[in-house]
């Protein structure tokens, strides 16, 4: 228990805001915390928050690693559309689900590798490098679906989006499994620390013997993988691939989730679980606005206000007032 205390204290602002949001949701809709089991699956608003938040949470897991390496991946929304398009068209063409899933994931990894090569080898700014795929990716997705919304009825693929495992919706299970796996890999090995050191100072890390080029490529490939997984879930959820709207603006939600989770956009210290928490906070907010009867138009305004509040809070806690000398982000030891 004592081991978890520092982590809990660090997560206090996020946990408190989640609590406040859930409390308001409960005020607006007294049945918010009701859970029931029907047709072998849990139902209830709380589960709904987790289920709807799963794609952004998955994106945020990959995005956390990228942002920790002092990068950003703007292409995840477009990669989602591409992976969904590949999955749908291959299913319609009659390929079995395992091959479909593997190919869609491979597309995501390939996109990530491209981003990683641009950032690590050509040394482009991450915003620019991933902007290319963000612009072109949706066009390529349209090319794959030939401009129509491809719908499918394959139960194997639909299961990924709407099925249930251990009474929990499949997207939640996938997001949780991915988060657990990612945390184990980055925190039980030196990988997380190496990524943080690249994010703090890439050239110093390279001089210290870290293969920063390879690591950056891996980080972007991982982000592409996460995006593809989220894209498959989104496509399976609506039983169709919509190249125009799948994953639209989700890159911004994913970045927002990472920022709410407390990972600095300037790279360095990161926490995957906190980013997932950030994604859940965003979704709790969205759901709250919907069930409280506010018009959904207020959604964006509320989101903007929350970002501004978080920026103010972060800036105040860093003493980031312009006339003070800027504090150099020190490479703090990991504790997540």
Give me the residues that bind other proteins (CB under 8 A), please. Answer: 72, 122-125, 127-129, 131-140, 142-143, 147, 243, 252, 255-256, 259, 265-266, 295, 297-305, 307-308, 311-312, 314-315, 320-322, 326
Would you say 51 or 64 has its CB closer to other proteins? Answer: 64
Residue 1 or 324 with smaller CB distance to other proteins: 324
Output the smallest distance, CB 275 to other proteins, in A: 15
User: Tokens representing 274?
Assistant: 């906190």
Instruction: Provide φ and ψ at 168, rounded to 5°.
Output: -105, 145
Report which DSSP code applies to 325.
P
The SS3 call for residue 209 is coil
In whole angstroms, how close is the CB of 241 to other proteins at the nearest point? 14
For residue 42, the cross-strand partners are: 37
Tokens 């956390």 identify what position? 64
Contacts of 285 (CB under 8 A, 6+ apart): 21, 302, 303, 306
- Minimum distance between the CB of residue 8 and other proteins, rounded to whole angstroms? 26
**What minimum distance in Å lies between the beta carbon of 111 and other proteins?**
12
Q: Supply 49's token pair.
A: 């928050």
Closest CA to 236 of 225, 223, 246: 246
Q: Which two tokens stand for residue 124?
A: 């482009």
Shortest CB 23 distance to other proteins, Å: 23
In the three-class reduction of DSSP (H, G, I as helix; E, B as strand; rest coil), residue 38 is classed as strand
Task: Write down the least CB distance from residue 323 to other proteins, Å.
Answer: 9
CB nearer to other proteins: pick between 109 and 259: 259
231 to each of 132, 140, 228, 243, 253, how far by Cα in Å? 19, 15, 5, 10, 14
* Residue closer to other proteins, measured from CB, 108 or 171: 108
CB nearer to other proteins: give 183 or 252: 252
Question: Helix (H, G, I), strand (E, B), or coil: what is residue 80?
Answer: helix
Smaller CB distance to other proteins: residue 186 or 259? 259
* CB closer to other proteins out of 95 and 303: 303
Taking the complex as a whole, the smallest distance from the CB of residue 131 to other proteins amounts, in Å, to 7
Residue 40: phi and psi, rounded to 5, are: 70, 30
């Amino acid at each position: 228990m004592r081991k978890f205390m520092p982590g809990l204290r660090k997560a206090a602002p996020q946990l408190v805001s989640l609590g406040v949001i859930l409390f308001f949701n409960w005020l607006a809709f007294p049945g918010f915390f009701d859970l029931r089991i029907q047709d072998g699956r849990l139902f209830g608003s709380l589960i709904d928050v987790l289920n709807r938040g799963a794609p952004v949470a998955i994106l945020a897991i990959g995005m956390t690693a990228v942002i920790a390496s002092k990068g950003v991946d703007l292409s995840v929304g477009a990669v989602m559309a591409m992976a969904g398009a590949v999955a749908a068209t291959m299913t319609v063409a009659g390929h079995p689900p395992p091959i479909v899933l593997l190919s869609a994931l491979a597309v995501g990894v390939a996109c990530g590798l491209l981003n990683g090569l641009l950032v690590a080898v050509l040394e482009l700014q991450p915003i620019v490098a991933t902007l290319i795929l963000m612009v072109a990716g949706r066009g390529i997705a349209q090319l794959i679906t030939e401009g129509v919304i491809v719908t499918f009825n394959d139960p194997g693929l639909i299961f990924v989006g709407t099925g249930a495992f251990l009474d929990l919706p499949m997207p939640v299970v996938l997001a949780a499994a991915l988060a657990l796996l990612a945390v184990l890999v980055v925190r039980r090995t030196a990988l997380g620390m190496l990524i943080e050191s690249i994010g703090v100072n890439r050239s110093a890390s390279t001089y210290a013997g870290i293969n920063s080029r390879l690591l950056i490529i891996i980080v972007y490939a991982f982000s592409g993988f996460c995006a593809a997984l989220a894209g498959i879930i989104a496509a399976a959820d609506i039983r169709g691939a919509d190249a125009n709207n799948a994953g639209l603006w989700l890159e911004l939600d994913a970045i927002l989730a990472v920022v709410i989770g407390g990972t600095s956009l300037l790279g360095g210290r990161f926490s995957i679980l906190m980013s997932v928490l950030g994604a859940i906070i965003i979704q709790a907010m969205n759901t709250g606005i919907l069930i409280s009867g506010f018009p959904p138009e207020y959604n964006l305004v509320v989101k903007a206000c929350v970002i501004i509040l978080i920026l103010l809070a972060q800036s105040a806690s860093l003493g980031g007032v312009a006339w003070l000398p800027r504090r150099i982000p020190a490479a703090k030891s990991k504790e997540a």
